């Protein structure tokens, strides 16, 4: 079948103005949107800029807006779209560098600001630190994050206020805060307790809807708000 | 143009690169250069597990692990390195755990382990639980954990910098040349030691589990600088990729009891590997599938098999096999067990083929997966450049790009992730040690000249040839003739074809003439790397007149230890490929017939 | 030069966020609506009662108009019910996975409540 | 396994107001329900229209029912209702103006104008609180 892709274009070197280009091509229902972008780039316009690597939803390179919502290009099939008119745009709230490529640095800055690493200053045991399957389960959901930014850039709070650390950073703080082996929960919570921490979240839920890893993002944020309000992690 | 100076520069931010950087940065100023954001590296795609004889649920020993690896390698692996890796494995896994890696857990709180192909109890020959896992996202957790620790230790990253050239002056490493993708600007890195950790090159083949980014940049970089590539004919085809797409279905599925079923509804692996059946090593299973399909026993006569992990089928065969839990009770699974242990696999199948593995079988076919060959190194990650294993001072390689060789002719599942952390660590330590005792080598006067010249050749080409066409011709000829089964004429044809493509590449079309994020240009460059690698692979394969591990020939069906128990070394010289051979290092395992 | 990161209100409104995003937008609008009403009302009462100013009376006429009343009642009902939903989910974050369901379920409370009230109000109004 | 200590988070405006917003929201619902039910008990159904009752529920000020056909104004205008109404006004004004502040901080960036507007909101809060209490006590 034929599908039409209307793609957002911006080339900093040639035109100062953003615009949309339309491409029409043959597609199978089981083609990924990423496959279509690859084919357009290969056969119609080599200058089209977008990121990709793994092509099956595990590396987090290709978060874009497809028909008005954030998705991974490699995880949406043509048959899932339920339309043959596809609008492709870069994710919102990060500066567009070229076409669908956005500047990810502000996103990673937020990520780095929440101490997204394991802290335990006790001398390690000879073998593993023990952890029961239940304790492991407590933070399983948030270990799945691939830092694709689909959540943060779907959040209206982040759009209007780039200082908000955003759902992705909170998810990654959650992963450690609720890890029974970690010792820096208090510091991370203190960071999230600040003006641009969890209180910028108004449970809008776009983030959870956008997450390609099906992480319960809003729930993770809620658990942190609750931990702060209660002053306890249980 | 910008200049930078670091004692150690690591190229690649996957499992190998990050481990190397973590260790090197303890003792030397270190920078990591990567064409992708570190967390996009392909290590994140690894699913099933990392091998280490922890013995958490049943008896196991590093010696058994070493023997299984030697046997899996079809005796082509260097045994000193294999013994070293198996022994280091246990500490390496504990070290990852201490860095916070969230492994799945046993009820007693220890790291959970599952069986994997080719890993056996050396006394009974039965599968052993050796693969330490975090659900089916082990690689993801390793990559994330290492990146997190790099942030904690303030490792310096140059993200989205594409390395174009390695600077070697008078046989010594001087640094490298990279392009900043965001601006197109050239950067010169002066370094005392360079560690190459750029991963594999599965994009040479049609159906592959590998990322778009798996274009063999590291090996191509080395080849162009007169460094040989070792054992390139040994490329692993994983038996279970999703039909047509190639997306990997981890061996862990079979570890949890999944079985391969042919078009007649039979579990065909019983015939090919009577003891371990579906948990034989990958070369054996891929070949068996190929033979079954050739005999018309694919599903509906098509070129795929069913991989069935529905609880009924798992329990049925577990009963037949008499498989037991560690506590001695019979092994049985429920739908929720499958869901808990293989969540991502289920997600892939539902997203891409609309199949729920808990209720229906998955259509699978062999998929290009892993490069056993690569840049030759010794067990400290030092690059060795000839038959006598002479070290090139200051150059290191680790991970899939390197050939230590611990995987020989066929890698066992879980050993790649292990390879990353063990040899990543030692190359990092060795590189820092080297940097501490050596001075910087002076850069050549025009360091970026060679890279610029190649780039300009692409930029200014006539533009007659479409990149996609060239790539797909290469992929199909390689899949057809240098795939699971190989014969003389086919491989000769492939060599011919690849050389033709190499010529035609000179006319490749690049639409984008800008400098910011010119991915078009980079992709052309990557394609040239792939073509070089395809050539070296095909030539190395054509020369090896035996069947061993992943290299299996219809015209020479047997292993020939008398003539071919040796590593291939291939140089790119004078527009062609020159081959030489070097012996395999043996310690205590003498080659035996291989059966599972 | 990269494009600015700014997301205009319109561009944001075009994002297909679904029920929860709508609930948030309405919560915000209704909250602002009520605070506007309260401020106006307090000022008006102050002006009329304490100063006998005419301005207060004109403000009163404005907000006593049926349209403003209908708007404000909607704001109050929506904000109250949706706010209650938010608080419940804040107390039991585990329920947040049902955020979507909860936003359409709450309409079953809001709509009958509002329509009934509006019906009574309009009938009164028409009856004079 | 060692229990994981978590010291109380430090108090700051965002933290306190987040909690206050929830508490005041719940209280406002409670007060409104109380207002409606008591109003109905006192015969609101036959004595006033819907709009007036709603207004009563949210702001139980006797001025709000003066135009209705109630026979006994004393029931509707006494100290109990004055306290009820002060609670409503204080909660609603604090909750509402804080909400306004949050919205303001979302859509403006730090700087002179933001500071000025924040101060204006603060003044409005104090003013409306004082005025409301003055009106309530004076009526
Ligand atoms: C789907 C899949 C599943 C797997 N499952 C398992 C498993 O269960 N167990 C197991 O043991 N192994 C598994 N493997 C194999 C294993 O994951 C890989 O071999 C391993 O992750 C490779 O790691 P690496 O560090 O060498 O490379 P990568 O992680 O791929 O990193 C390569 C890095 O090099 C950078 N790079 C490349 N070229 C350039 C350049 N020109 N300039 C700058 N930077 C560059 C990239 O940006 C990247 O950061 C699996 C592989 C796949 C594909
Ligand atoms: C009926 C009882 C009420 C309840 C249950 C309630 C509940 C809430 C809650 C939970 C929030 C926080 C929303 C968030 O953080 O996303 C909120 C915000 C707000 N409320 Fe209320 N509220 C009530 C009454 C009021 C009243 C009477 C006013 C006005 C005076 C008001 C004005 C606001 C404003 C302006 C906001 C900010 C909106 C935003 O940030 O998007 N609310 N309310
Ligand atoms: S939480 Fe989900 S959407 Fe957000 S960055 Fe992680 S994977 Fe992407
Ligand atoms: S979209 Fe934004 S407001 Fe919260 S629930 Fe998600 S972070
Ligand atoms: S390309 Fe890796 S997530 Fe889509």
Dump pLDDT digits (tens) for D20-46.
Answer: 999 999 999 998 888 888 878 877 677
Q: Which of B134, B510, B519 is nearest residue A49 as measured by Cβ atoms?
A: B519
B535: nearest Cα among B565, B575, B488: B575
What distance in Å separates the CA atoms of residue B154 and residue B132, rounded to the nearest whole number? 28
Average of pLDDT values for B353-363?
95
DSSP at C6: -
Structural Rg of chain D based on CA atoms: 19
Percent of chain A's residues with pLDDT above 70: 99
As a dihedral over the C-alpha atoms of residue B61, residue B145, residue A145, residue B401, rounded to 10 degrees, the angle is -80
Would you say the CB of residue C84 lies under 6 angstroms from ligand 2? Answer: yes
DSSP at B206: S
Query: Which contacts (CB < 8 Å, 24+ apart) does range C48-57 have?
Result: C49/D63, C49/D135, C49/D138, C49/D139, C50/D134, C50/D135, C50/D138
Whether the predicted pLDDT of C6 surpasses 70? yes
Residue D25 falls inside a structural domain: yes
User: Which of A59, A73, A76 is the best substitution to test chain B (most B C-beta atoms within 10 A)?
Assistant: A59
User: How close, in Å, is residue B214 to chain A by CA atoms?
Assistant: 8
Q: Which residue of A has its CA nearest to D10?
A: A190
Sheet of B305-308: strand order equals: B235-242, B362-371, B305-308, B259-261
Gap from CA of C89 to ligand 2 centroid (Å):
15
Q: Which residue of A has its CA nearest to C85?
A: A203
Whether the predicted pLDDT of B490 surpasses 50? yes
CB contact (8 A) between residue A94 and residue C5: yes
pLDDT tens digit sequence for B409-420: 999 999 999 999
- From chain B, pick out residues whose CB is under 8 angstroms from the CB of A75: 351
Gap from CA of B315 to ligand 3 centroid (Å):
36
How many inter-chain contacts (A to B, CB under 8 Å) are there? 156
Would you say the CB of residue A59 lies under 6 angstroms from ligand 5? Answer: yes
Gap from CA of B14 to ligand 1 centroid (Å):
6
* Token output for D59: 């702001």
Instruction: Determine the 3-state secondary structure of C37 from DSSP.
Output: helix
Average of pLDDT values for B432-456?
95
Q: Of all residues in chain C, what percent are helix, strand and coil, respectively (each to 5)? A: 85, 0, 15
Whether the predicted pLDDT of D107 surpasses 60? yes
Gap from CA of D86 to ligand 2 centroid (Å):
18
Domains of chain C, CATH where assigned: 20-127 (1.20.1300)
Residue A65's pLDDT band (boundaries 50, 70, 90)?
very high
Residue D83 falls inside a structural domain: yes
CB B397 within 8 A of CB B233: no
Angle between helices C66-91 and C54-64 (to 10 degrees): 70
* Token output for B91: 């500490």
Would you say the CB of residue A52 lies under 6 angstroms from ligand 5? Answer: yes
CA angle B366, B367, B373 (to 5 degrees): 115
Residue D65 falls inside a structural domain: yes
CB contact (8 A) between residue C17 and residue A209: yes
CB contact (8 A) between residue B110 and residue A45: no
Whether the predicted pLDDT of A85 surpasses 90? yes
Q: Which residue of B has its CA nearest to A124?
A: B98
Q: Which of B97, B141, B466 is nearest residue A129 as measured by Cβ atoms?
A: B97
User: Which of D9, D99, D105 is the best substitution to test chain A (most A C-beta atoms within 10 A)?
Assistant: D9
- From chain A, pick out residues whose CB is under 8 angstroms from the CB of D12: 193-195
Longest dimension (CA), chain C: 64
Average of pLDDT values for B68-92?
96
CB-based contacts of A7: which residues, under 8 Å, 6+ apart? A20, A21, A22, A23, A40, A48, A88, A89, A99, A100
Would you say the CB of residue D95 lies under 6 angstroms from ligand 2? Answer: yes
Average of pLDDT values for B496-510?
95
Interchain contact D108–C (C-beta under 8 A): no
Interchain contact C60–D (C-beta under 8 A): no
User: How close, in Å, is residue B416 to chain A by CA atoms?
Assistant: 18
User: How close, in Å, is residue C57 to chain A by CA atoms?
Assistant: 37
Q: Which of A156, A162, A202 is nearest residue C12 as measured by Cβ atoms?
A: A156
pLDDT at D1: 39
Q: Please spell the DSSP secondary structure of B279-327, one letter per residue.
A: GS-HHHHHHHHHHHHHTT-SGGGSS-EEEE--HHHHHHHHHHHT-B-TT
Whether the predicted pLDDT of A87 surpasses 90? yes
Instruction: Determine the 3-state secondary structure of B426 from DSSP.
Output: helix
Q: Please spell the DSSP secondary structure of B118-177, one letter per residue.
A: EEE-TTT--EEEEEE-STT-HHHHHHHHHHHHHHHTT-EEEETEEEEEEEEETTEEEEEE
Residue D2's pLDDT band (boundaries 50, 70, 90)?
very low
Residue with tokens 């290709």: A62
Q: Which of A180, A190, A225 is nearest residue D10 as measured by Cβ atoms?
A: A190
- From chain A, pick out residues whose CB is under 8 angstroms from the CB of D8: 231
Average of pLDDT values for A72-95?
94
Interchain contact C100–D (C-beta under 8 A): no
DSSP at A94: S
Whether the predicted pLDDT of C65 surpasses 90? no
Would you say the CB of residue A146 lies under 6 angstroms from ligand 4? Answer: no
Average of pLDDT values for D109-132?
89
pLDDT at A25: 95
Q: Which of A135, A160, A185 is nearest residue D106 as measured by Cβ atoms?
A: A160
CB C57 within 8 A of CB C48: yes
pLDDT tens digit sequence for A137-154: 999 999 999 999 999 999
Mean pLDDT (chain B, rounded): 95
**H/E run at residue B459:** helix B449-459
Residue B258's pLDDT band (boundaries 50, 70, 90)?
very high
Q: Is B282 an annotated catalytic residue?
A: yes
**H/E run at residue B242:** strand B235-242
pLDDT at C38: 79
Mean pLDDT (chain A, rounded): 94
CB contact (8 A) between residue A13 and residue B516: yes
* Token output for D111: 């700087």
User: How close, in Å, is residue C3 to chain A by CA atoms?
Assistant: 5
Hey, whose CA ends up nearest to atom 6 of ligand 1? B46
Residue D1 falls inside a structural domain: no
Average of pLDDT values for A157-168?
93
As a dihedral over the C-alpha atoms of residue B499, residue B500, residue B501, residue B506, rounded to 10 degrees, the angle is 100
Ligand nearest to the CA of A158: 4
DSSP at A190: H
Residue C47's pLDDT band (boundaries 50, 70, 90)?
confident
Interchain contact D22–C (C-beta under 8 A): yes
CB D72 within 8 A of CB D96: no
Neighbouring-strand partners of residue B370: B236
Termini Cα distance of chain B: 57
Query: Phi and psi for B278 in degrees, rounded to 5?
Result: -70, -5
What distance in Å separates the CA atoms of residue B104 and residue C109, rounded to the nearest whole number? 44
Ligand nearest to the CA of B420: 1
- Write down the H helix ranges in A12-119: 33-39, 78-81, 105-112
CB B320 within 8 A of CB B262: no
* Peptide bond preceding B405 in cis form (omega within 30 of 0): yes
Q: Which residue of C has its CA nearest to D50?
A: C121
| pTM tops 0.90 | yes
- For A20-24, B182-186, C10-14, which range has the lowest pLDDT when averaged over its residues? C10-14
Number of domains composing chain D: 1
pLDDT tens digit sequence for B260-314: 999 999 999 999 999 999 999 899 999 999 999 989 999 998 889 999 999 999 9
Mutation probe of ligand 4 site: the residue of A92, A151, A153, A206 with most atoms within 8 A of C-beta:
A206
Q: Catalytic: which of B129, B137, B254, B282?
A: B282
User: How close, in Å, is residue D132 to chain C by CA atoms?
Assistant: 6
pLDDT at A15: 67
**Domain span holding position D113:** 15-138
Residue D5 falls inside a structural domain: no
Whether the predicted pLDDT of B329 surpasses 70? yes
What distance in Å separates the CA atoms of residue B560 and residue B563, rounded to the nearest whole number? 6
Average of pLDDT values for B26-52?
96
- Measured from the Cβ of residue B437, the count of other Cβ atoms closer than 10 Å reads 7
Gap from CA of A91 to ligand 3 centroid (Å):
13
Whether the predicted pLDDT of A211 surpasses 70? yes
Interchain contact D92–C (C-beta under 8 A): yes
- For A53-57, A182-186, D50-54, which range has the lowest pLDDT when averaged over its residues? D50-54
Gap from CA of B359 to ligand 1 centroid (Å):
32
Gap from CA of A172 to ligand 3 centroid (Å):
9
Would you say the CB of residue A218 lies under 6 angstroms from ligand 4? Answer: yes
Average of pLDDT values for B368-397?
96
Angle between helices A217-230 and A166-177 (to 10 degrees): 60
- From chain C, pick out residues whose CB is under 8 angstroms from the CB of D26: 84, 87
User: How close, in Å, is residue A155 to chain D by CA atoms?
Assistant: 12
Gap from CA of A90 to ligand 1 centroid (Å):
27
DSSP at B551: B
Q: Characterise A79 by phi-psi region: left (phi > 0), alpha (psi -120 to 50), beta (else).
A: alpha
A180: nearest Cα among A228, A141, A217, A131: A131
- For B168-172, B578-582, C55-59, which range has the lowest pLDDT when averaged over its residues? C55-59
Hey, whose CA ends up nearest to atom 3 of ligand 4? A201
Q: Which of C35, C73, C83 is nearest residue D100 as measured by Cβ atoms?
A: C35
Residue B503's pLDDT band (boundaries 50, 70, 90)?
very high
Domains of chain A, CATH where assigned: 2-102 (3.10.20.30), 105-230 (1.10.1060.10)
Q: In residues, how long is chain B?
A: 596
CB D76 within 8 A of CB D42: yes
Whether the predicted pLDDT of C86 surpasses 60? yes
């Amino acid at each position: 079948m034929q599908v039409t892709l209307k793609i957002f274009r911006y080339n900093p070197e040639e035109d100062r103005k953003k615009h949309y280009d339309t491409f029409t091509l043959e597609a199978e229902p089981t083609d990924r949107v990423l496959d279509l972008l690859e084919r357009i780039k290969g056969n119609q316009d080599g200058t089209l800029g977008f990121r990709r690597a793994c092509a099956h939803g595990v590396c987090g390179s290709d978060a874009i807006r497809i028909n008005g919502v954030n998705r991974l290009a490699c995880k949406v099939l043509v048959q899932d779209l339920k339309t043959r008119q596809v609008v492709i745009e870069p994710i919102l709230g990060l500066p567009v560098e070229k076409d669908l490529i956005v500047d990810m640095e502000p996103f990673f800055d937020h990520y780095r600001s929440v101490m997204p690493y394991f802290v335990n200053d006790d001398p390690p045991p000879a073998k593993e630190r023990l952890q029961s399957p239940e304790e492991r389960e407590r933070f399983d959901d948030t270990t799945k994050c691939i830092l694709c930014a689909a959540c943060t850039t779907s959040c209206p709070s982040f759009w209007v206020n780039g200082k908000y650390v955003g759902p992705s950073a909170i998810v990654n703080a959650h992963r450690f805060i609720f890890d029974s082996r970690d010792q820096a929960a208090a510091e991370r919570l203190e960071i999230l307790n600040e003006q641009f921490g969890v209180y910028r979240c108004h449970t809008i839920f776009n983030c959870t809807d956008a997450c390609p890893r099906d992480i319960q993002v809003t729930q993770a944020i809620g658990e942190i708000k609750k931990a702060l309000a209660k002053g306890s992690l249980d | 143009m910008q200049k930078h100076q670091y004692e150690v520069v690591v190229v690649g931010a996957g499992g190998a690169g990050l481990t190397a950087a973590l260790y090197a940065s303890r003792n030397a100023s270190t920078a990591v250069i990567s064409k992708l954001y570190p967390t996009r590296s392909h290590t994140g795609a690894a699913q099933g597990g990392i091998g280490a004889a922890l013995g958490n649920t049943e008896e196991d020993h590093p010696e058994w692990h070493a023997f299984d690896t030697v046997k899996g390698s079809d005796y082509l692996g260097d045994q000193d390195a294999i013994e070293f890796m198996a022994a280091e494995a246990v500490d390496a896994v504990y070290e990852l755990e201490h860095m916070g890696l969230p492994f799945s857990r046993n009820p007693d709180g220890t790291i959970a382990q599952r069986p994997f192909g080719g890993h056996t109890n050396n006394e009974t020959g039965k599968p052993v639980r050796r693969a330490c896992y975090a659900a089916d996202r082990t690689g993801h957790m390793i990559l994330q954990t290492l990146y997190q620790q790099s942030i904690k230790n303030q490792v310096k990253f140059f993200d989205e910098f594409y390395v174009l050239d390695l600077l070697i002056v008078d046989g010594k490493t001087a640094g490298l040349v990279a392009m900043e993708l965001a601006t197109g600007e050239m950067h010169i890195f002066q370094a005392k030691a360079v560690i190459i950790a750029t991963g594999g090159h599965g994009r040479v083949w049609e159906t592959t589990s590998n990322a778009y980014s798996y274009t063999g940049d590291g090996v191509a970089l080395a080849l162009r600088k007169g460094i040989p590539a070792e054992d390139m004919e040994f490329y692993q085809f994983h038996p279970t990729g999703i039909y047509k797409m190639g997306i990997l279905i981890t061996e862990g599925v079979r570890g949890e009891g999944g079985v391969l079923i042919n078009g007649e509804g039979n579990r065909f692996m019983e015939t090919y590997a009577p003891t371990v059946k579906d948990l034989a090593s990958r070369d054996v299973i891929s070949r068996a599938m190929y033979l079954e399909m050739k005999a018309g026993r694919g599903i509906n006569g098509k070129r795929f098999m069913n991989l069935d992990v529905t609880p009924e089928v798992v329990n049925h065969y577990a009963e037949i096999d008499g498989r037991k839990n560690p506590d001695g009770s019979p092994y049985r699974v429920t739908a929720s067990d499958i869901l808990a242990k293989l969540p991502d696999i289920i997600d892939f199948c539902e997203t891409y083929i609309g199949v729920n593995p808990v209720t229906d079988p998955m259509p699978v076919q062999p998929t290009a997966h892993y490069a056993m060959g690569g840049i030759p190194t010794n067990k400290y990650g030092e690059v060795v450049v000839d038959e006598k294993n002479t070290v090139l001072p200051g150059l290191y390689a680790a991970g899939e790009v390197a050939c230590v060789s611990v995987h020989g002719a066929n890698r066992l599942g879980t050993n790649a992730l292990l390879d990353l952390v063990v040899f990543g660590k030692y190359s990092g330590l060795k590189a820092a040690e080297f940097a501490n005792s050596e001075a910087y080598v002076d850069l050549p006067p025009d360091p970026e000249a060679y890279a610029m010249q190649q780039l300009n050749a692409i930029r200014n080409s006539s533009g007659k040839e479409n990149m996609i066409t060239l790539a797909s011709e290469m992929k199909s000829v390689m899949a057809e003739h240098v795939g699971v089964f190989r014969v003389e004429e086919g491989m000769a044809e492939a060599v011919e074809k690849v050389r033709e493509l190499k010529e035609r590449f000179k006319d490749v079309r690049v639409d984008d003439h800008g400098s910011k994020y010119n991915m078009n240009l980079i992709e052309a460059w990557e394609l040239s790397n792939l073509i070089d690698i395809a050539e070296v692979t095909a030539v190395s394969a054509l020369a090896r007149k035996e069947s061993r591990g992943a290299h299996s020939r219809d015209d020479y069906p047997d292993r020939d230890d008398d003539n071919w128990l040796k590593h291939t070394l291939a140089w790119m010289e004078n527009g062609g490929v020159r081959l030489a051979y070097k012996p395999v290092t043996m310690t205590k395992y003498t080659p035996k017939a291989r059966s599972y | 030069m990269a494009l600015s990161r700014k997301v205009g209100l319109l561009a944001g409104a075009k994002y297909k966020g679904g029920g929860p995003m709508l609930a948030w937008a309405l919560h915000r609008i209704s909250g602002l609506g009520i605070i506007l009403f309260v401020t106006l009302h307090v000022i008006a009462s102050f002006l009329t009662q304490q100063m006998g100013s005419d301005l207060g009376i004109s403000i009163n006429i404005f907000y006593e108009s049926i349209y403003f009343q209908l708007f404000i009642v909607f704001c109050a009902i929506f904000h109250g019910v949706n706010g209650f939903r938010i608080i419940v989910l804040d107390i039991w974050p585990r329920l947040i996975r049902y955020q979507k369901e909860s936003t359409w379920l709450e309409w079953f409370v809001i709509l009958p409540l509002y329509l009934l009230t509006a019906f009574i109000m309009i009938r009164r109004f028409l009856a004079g | 396994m060692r229990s994981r200590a978590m010291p109380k988070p430090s108090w700051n405006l965002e933290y306190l107001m987040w909690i206050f917003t929830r508490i005041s929201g719940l209280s406002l619902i409670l007060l409104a329900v109380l207002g409606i039910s008591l109003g109905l008990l006192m015969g609101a159904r036959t004595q006033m229209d819907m709009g007036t009752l709603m207004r009563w529920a949210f702001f139980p000020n006797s001025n709000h029912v003066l135009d209705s056909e109630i026979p006994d104004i004393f029931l509707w205008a006494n100290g109990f209702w004055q306290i009820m109404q002060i609670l409503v006004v204080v909660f609603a004004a604090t909750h509402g103006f804080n909400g306004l502040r949050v919205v303001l901080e979302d859509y403006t960036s730090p700087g002179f104008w933001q500071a000025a507007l924040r101060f204006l909101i603060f003044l409005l809060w104090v003013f409306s609180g004082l005025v409301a209490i003055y009106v309530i006590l004076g009526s």
